[in-house]
Amino acid sequence: MIENTITGEITYKGATFAESEHFWLDGMLEVYAHSWDVEKHEIVIDTVIYSGIDGRNMCDTSFKIDINEETARDMIRTIKGHAVEAFAKSVIEEKQRIAKGRNCVVVKGRKVPKGTVVNVFWVGERPTYRSRNYDWMNETETVAGAYTEDGTKIWIKADYLKVIDGIKSPDRRNREAFIRNYVERNVPLVVRKAARGMRMAERGWRNKVTHPVE
């Protein structure tokens, strides 16, 4: 809950779940309240304290951690939706990843004919052409070492290859573990407890955000 100490206006009642802070070089302290917007289904971050060494808050606001069960469940449902999308994306990326031992076909480039089937034995990084010719450049590109079907060794940009192996999709257990870990990383413990109907910690307890939400 965030309250304007002058007008008494209250926003995000039952939806504020964490705080974070930043100390500026000029000695000012800025504190942010993290709340869940149930209409937009997203996290909103508001500056609630901006003070100097005298301790006076220039924002004229106060806040407290007070997320309720309904809001917490809405937040978790939304984050789980993000987790499902992230899982699907990770599966696609894994199936397309150029890795040691995988069979690929050349789809780009001029040195190796398109359609050549190769087996990758090494993947790593090397400086790009521009980095090799200009000292101020600092770029790398992913390169694969591979053998063609007749045993010829080639070195080729990974972007020029496409995986042709039939890679098995993760099973239900892997999917559930991914979603569970995603939620644990992106939903603070206080929200997960509130969603289960557990009582909030005693008044004055402060839930610090130590990592950004993905």
What pLDDT, on a 0 to 100 scale, did the predictor assign at position 208?
52
Cβ contacts of 82 within 8 Å, gap of 6 or more: 182, 186, 214
pLDDT per residue of the chain (214 residues) written in tens, 0 to 9: 898 888 889 988 889 999 999 999 988 999 999 999 999 999 999 999 999 888 888 888 989 999 999 999 999 999 999 999 999 999 999 999 999 999 999 999 999 999 999 999 999 999 888 888 887 888 999 999 999 999 999 999 999 999 999 888 899 999 999 999 999 999 999 999 999 987 544 344 445 554 444 4
Alpha helices by DSSP H, listed for the chain, are 69-96, 129-133, 172-186, 189-195
CATH of 103-163, one of 2.30.30, 1.10.10, 3.40.50, 1.10.3470: 2.30.30
What pLDDT, on a 0 to 100 scale, did the predictor assign at position 202?
37
Q: Which residues pair with 62 in a beta bridge?
A: 3
Q: What is the pTM of this model?
A: 0.74
| E strand intervals along the chain | 2-4, 10-11, 16-23, 29-37, 42-51, 61-63, 103-106, 117-127, 140-148, 153-157, 161-163
What pLDDT, on a 0 to 100 scale, did the predictor assign at position 5?
85
What pLDDT, on a 0 to 100 scale, did the predictor assign at position 6?
85
What pLDDT, on a 0 to 100 scale, did the predictor assign at position 96?
94
What pLDDT, on a 0 to 100 scale, did the predictor assign at position 131?
83
CATH 2.30.30 residue window(s) in the chain: 103-163
